[in-house]
């Protein structure tokens, strides 16, 4: 019973905010225009500030995290390396292939990594989650451009230079860069700016979850049912189980070190995947279904994995 309560208390707060956002949208409090501008505020301003202050306020950035960071980078490269030749054998529609690959390997660590790390492991897990985010975001963004470009019907060829420049346009990357810059040089900040900036940054996670709930549209997924089921089971069940095994038994990760890695491999698909599907003229309806239903079912899969890991004494 204790493990069930632990798993429930870890998952319930965030998903309660999502449900609240959905209800506010139904009541007309959250409009489509408001949600769009709110998402822009979160991802262009609030999350960069949150990452910046996590780094700026870090008492000690432990570079022994490198083995964990390299493991997470390996998860990305192995996933793309396996899925890229495999998915075209299962799906013939090129507009769906890029969506399938992207949605199956890229989870919403930006949104889930920090709050879940904090609730499950405290400040040490948050510091590690921030380090993972800093290292993997440029790679994820670059790989996303290559994946979508490879299967797009727009005639655009993958370009390493363009992919790198697109990765640098991500505001969160600049939050990481500036946070590290201030941290390493020990640059002082006026107390009132630190307090004001920290208070603003704290709004990022609850607002993002609120707006995510407001985006829910329970559309029919019948035409994409087969690929959607394959993708969701792979993303939420198979891949976490596969990658958690070496993390636990080969790297020996436990407790605060394991928690961010667990969230990295098990978080539902990222909102960015839907936005990129529109940009590259891929099957954005399938991407939207992935976004919605992975969010819904992750409430159960995250609960299940947390319960199992807690029962095994790993977290």
Query: Once rounded to an integer, what is the mean pLDDT over residues 294-304?
Result: 86
CA within 13 Å, CB half, 165: 5
pLDDT digit string (tens) for 182-224?
A: 877 888 888 888 899 888 988 887 887 788 788 776 665 677 7
Task: Round the CA-based radius of gyration of the chain to a whole number and report it.
Answer: 19
- DSSP bridge pairs for 269: 107
**8 A C-beta contact, residue 110 and residue 171:** no
In the chain the domains, ranked by start, together with CATH numbers, are: 2-209+224-310 (1.20.1530)
The residue with tokens 């709110």 is: 38
The 3-class SS string of the chain reads CHHHHHHHHHHHHHHHHHHHHHHHHHCCCCCHHHHHHHHHHHHHHHHHHHHHHHHHCCCCCCHHHHHHHHHHHHHHHHHHHHHHHHHHHHCCCHHHHHHHHHHHHCECHHHHHHHHHHHHHCHHHHHHHHHHHHHHHHHHHHHHHHHHHHHCCCCCCCCHHHHHHHHHCCHHHHHHHHHHHHHHHCCCCCHHHHHHHHHHHCCHHHHHHHHHHHCCCCCCCHHHHHHHHHHHHHHHHHHHHHHHHHHHHCCCCCHHHHHHHHHHHHCCECHHHHHHHHHCCCCHHHHHHHHHHHHHHHHHHHHHHHHHHHHCCCC
Q: Rounded to whole angstroms, how far apart are CA atoms 168 and 183?
A: 20
SS (H, E, C) 151-170: HCCCCCCCCHHHHHHHHHCC
Q: What's the whole-number mean pLDDT along residues 236-252?
A: 92
The two structure tokens encoding residue 114 = 């920090």
Q: Tokens 């727009």, residue?
A: 154
**What is the chain's mean pLDDT, rounded?**
82
Task: Name the token pair of 208.
Answer: 């993002």
306, 6 contact by CB (below 8 A): yes
Residues in the chain: 315
- Max mean pLDDT among 52-66, 68-82, 284-298 falls in 68-82
Model pLDDT, residue 163? 60
Highest mean pLDDT among 139-143, 194-198, 261-265, 307-311: 261-265
The answer, yes or no, to whether residue 125 has pLDDT greater than 70, is: yes
Give the C-alpha separation, 6 to 11, whole Å: 9
Average pLDDT over residues 217-242: 84
Tens of pLDDT, residues 69-82: 999 999 999 999 99
How high is the pLDDT of residue 154? 54
Neighbours of 225 (CB within 10 A): 11
Could you give the percent of the chain with pLDDT greater than 70?
Answer: 87
- Taking Cα atoms as reference points, which of 232, 215, 221, 218 lies closest to residue 274? 215
Question: Using CA atoms, how far apart are residues 18 and 147, in angstroms rounded to an integer?
Answer: 30
Give the pLDDT mean for 219-235: 82
């Amino acid at each position: 019973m204790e493990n069930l309560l632990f798993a429930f208390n870890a998952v319930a707060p965030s998903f309660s905010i999502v449900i609240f956002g959905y209800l506010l949208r139904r009541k007309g409090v959250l409009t489509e225009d408001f949600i769009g501008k709110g998402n822009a505020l979160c991802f262009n301003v609030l999350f960069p500030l949150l990452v910046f202050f996590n780094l700026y306020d870090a008492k000690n950035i432990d570079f022994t995290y490198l083995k964990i960071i390299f493991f997470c980078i390996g998860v990305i490269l192995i996933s793309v390396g396996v899925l890229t030749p495999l998915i075209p054998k299962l799906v013939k529609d090129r507009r769906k292939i890029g969506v399938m690959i992207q949605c199956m390997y890229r989870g919403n660590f930006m949104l889930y990594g920090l709050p879940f790390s904090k609730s499950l492991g405290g400040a040490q897990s948050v510091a590690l989650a921030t380090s993972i985010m800093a290292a993997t975001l440029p790679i994820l963004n670059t790989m996303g451009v290559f994946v979508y470009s490879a299967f797009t019907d727009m005639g655009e060829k993958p370009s390493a230079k363009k992919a790198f420049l697109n990765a640098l346009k991500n505001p969160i990357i600049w939050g990481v860069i500036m946070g590290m810059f201030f941290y390493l040089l020990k640059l002082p900040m006026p107390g009132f700016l630190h307090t004001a900036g920290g208070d603003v940054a704290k709004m990022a996670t609850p607002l993002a979850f609120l707006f995510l709930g407001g985006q829910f549209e329970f559309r029919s997924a019948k035409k994409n049912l087969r690929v959607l089921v394959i993708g969701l089971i792979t993303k939420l069940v198979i891949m976490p189980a596969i990658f958690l095994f070496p993390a636990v038994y080969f790297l020996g990760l436990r407790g605060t070190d394991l928690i961010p890695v667990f969230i990295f491999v098990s978080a539902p698909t990222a909102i960015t995947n839907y936005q990129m599907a529109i940009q590259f003229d891929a099957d954005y309806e399938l991407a939207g279904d992935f976004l919605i239903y992975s969010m819904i079912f992750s409430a159960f899969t995250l609960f299940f994995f947390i319960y199992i890991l807690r029962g095994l004494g790993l977290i």
